[in-house]
Amino acid sequence: MPPARVVAVAPGSPAASAGLHPGDELLAVNGEELADVIRYQLQTDDPTVELELRRGGLERLVVVEKGMGEPLGLELASAVFDRVRTCDNRCPFCFVHQLPEGLRRTLYLKDDDFRLSFLYGNFTTLTRFTEADLERVVTERLSPLYVSIHATDPDLRARMLRNRRGATSLRWLAALLDGGIEVHGQVVVCPGLNDGEALEETLLGVLDRFPRLATVGLVPLGVSDHHREPELRAHTVDEARAVLETTGRWQRRFLEALGRRLVFAADEYHLMAGRELPPADEYEGFPQHENGVGLARAFLDDLSRALAGEAGEGSGPRPGFFAWVEGTEAHSGRWTAIDGAPGEGYRAPRGGGLALHPGPTRPVGVVTGRYGAMVLAPRLDALAERAGVPVRLVEVPNRFFGGNIAVTGLLTGADVDAALRAQPEGHRYLLPDVVLSRGTFLDDVSVEGLCRPVEVVRTDGASLVAALTPEGRR
């Protein structure tokens, strides 16, 4: 079993007191060779932990004494120590297949690993799931998990995954639900493939076979300029409205049959269709917030509370696409609670935000993508009133990916830089941290490399209002 490599030791932690250092390799914990950070957490929970280390080619045993359940204080190089279980599906709609050349090699890796589903909310198709995996998930209560359904008709699902095991692998979903595991599902809706009557059949299949699913998110197909599938195309406005109508109809059926809505449409559908976002209570706690379902509503409600002077931390984004590749969200719920989990997740760790210097005479430009601009535009007057200066949007077209890619989180440094070059010097420019990982964009452009100075702001309504509020009014 490959060892887990230590990349950081928290100052003052039990690991630091025991003399652990970055570069140490964990060979075993309490006599067990570990395959992933999940087993690491379980083995390091006790007050006495025996670590078999290798340092400088020499092996040694270190005993760490700590409080029961106290974190050891290590950050490891990866969440999975053996090998990530890669995806052998060939889904035509897979966004990894639509990436341009020249990005970091890790971004092209497709995983289908239930461990990353548990740790970071990645969606797995279960086509590589096994009986041993089921036993481990149920025994260790690795819940919640996230499963890509796409279709409940076996033939259609196999056709969409381009994998014959797609026709049978949903048996594992039933087994997980029978074992009491919380599972959230996803359907990437592809026009002409699994929409319309096929989507109706899928939701009927959910009610009939998988009514214990916690939620099902309906997510629109993203089509970049780099796709190679002639059958792929973006939704029309009418198709987006049809998905919303289907969602509403099935929410009513699920409410009647199960007492909860169960199925939710991604925010993009509401924006594409020109429809109002549902109120917060209709998202039933935002369980698929990180999948773009209710993200805009949570942001707007957060913004309204902040403008009204109500205190709050802000909901902020959670990891989503590329989440395990670069680092976990530094301030998001369950991800930070994982001792040993690497700082891996495309959208974080944030940190390192630039100092904010609100000035009474400097106009402000808020950098955002097309969908972000649609959400923020109606609130500009209220934001300008709070700031005491003109506030405008700097909408950045996504030329890097092209197609219908319009979410702010997939903006690149090159596109942001091009947009800022058309903006006047001397203004303040606020950049949402959702576009960054460790201070760099997806295309490896750094914040410092932009043509205009920017101030990095957490991607939530409260943080935006705080950045715009002059010091004397805070």
Same domain, 131 and 260: yes
Q: How many residues does the chain have?
A: 474
Hey, what are 377's tokens?
Answer: 């535009």
Give residue-wise pLDDT tens across range 316-372. Answer: 444 333 333 333 333 233 333 356 666 444 333 444 444 455 555 799 999 999 999
Neighbour order of strands in the sheet with 74-76: 58-65, 48-55, 25-29, 4-9, 74-76
Same domain, 119 and 219: yes
Distance CA 64, CA 16 (A): 10
Same domain, 416 and 465: yes
368 within a domain of the structure (yes/no): yes
Domain boundary (19, 46, 76) is at 76
Give residue-wise pLDDT tens across range 300-310. Answer: 999 999 999 88
**pLDDT for 103:** 74
Domain boundary (293, 318, 349) is at 293
Same domain, 34 and 136: no
62 within a domain of the structure (yes/no): yes
- The enclosing domain of 8 has a CATH number of 2.30.42.10
Give residue-wise pLDDT tens across range 388-398. Answer: 999 999 999 99
Model pTM score: 0.88
446 φ/ψ angles, rounded to the nearest 5 degrees: -90, 160
- The enclosing domain of 259 has a CATH number of 3.20.20
**pLDDT for 458:** 93
Same domain, 55 and 182: no
Residue 79 neighbours by CB under 8 Å, 6+ apart? 36, 37, 115, 116, 119, 120, 324, 341, 342, 344
Same domain, 139 and 218: yes
185 within a domain of the structure (yes/no): yes
Same domain, 244 and 282: yes
Average pLDDT taken over every residue of the chain: 88
323 within a domain of the structure (yes/no): no
Same domain, 54 and 101: no
9 within a domain of the structure (yes/no): yes
Distance CA 159, CA 167 (A): 8
Domain boundary (232, 259, 293) is at 293
89 within a domain of the structure (yes/no): no
Domain count, the chain: 3
304 within a domain of the structure (yes/no): no
Same domain, 409 and 270: no
Checking phi first, is residue 73 left (phi over 0); if not, alpha (psi -120 to 50) or beta?
Answer: left
Average pLDDT per consecutive 10 residues, the chain (474 residues; last block may be shorter): 90 94 95 93 93 95 93 91 88 84 73 91 95 97 96 97 95 98 97 97 98 98 88 94 98 98 97 96 94 95 93 48 35 42 46 48 94 96 95 96 92 96 96 89 92 95 94 56
**pLDDT for 310:** 85
Task: Give the 3-state secondary structure of the chain.
Answer: CCCEEEEEECCCCHHHHCCCCCCCEEEEECCECCCEHHHHHHHCCCCEEEEEEEECCEEEEEEEECCCCCCCCEEECCCECCCCCECCCCCCCCHHHHCCCCCCHHHHCCECCHHHHHHHCCCECCCCCCHHHHHHHHHHCCCCEEEECCCCCHHHHHHHHCCHHHHCCHHHHHHHHHCCCCEEEEEEECCCCCCCHHHHHHHHHHHHHCCCCCEEEEEECCCCCCCCCCCCCCCCHHHHHHHHHHHHHHHHHHHHHHCCCCEEECHHHHHHHCCCCCCHHHHCCCCCHHHCCCHHHHHHHHHHHHHCCCCCCCCCCCCCCCHHHHCCCCCCHHHHCCCECCCCCCCCCCCCCCCCCCCCCCCEEEEECHHHHHHHHHHHHHHHHHHCCCEEEEECCCCCCCCCCCCHHHCCHHHHHHHHHCCCCCCEEEEEHHHCECCECCCCCEHHHCCCCCEEECCCHHHHHHHHCCHHHC
> What residues make up the domain containing 419?
364-473
Residue 258 neighbours by CB under 8 Å, 6+ apart? 207, 211
Same domain, 120 and 239: yes
Same domain, 457 and 423: yes
Same domain, 169 and 71: no
Hey, what are 425's tokens?
Answer: 């010097």
439 within a domain of the structure (yes/no): yes
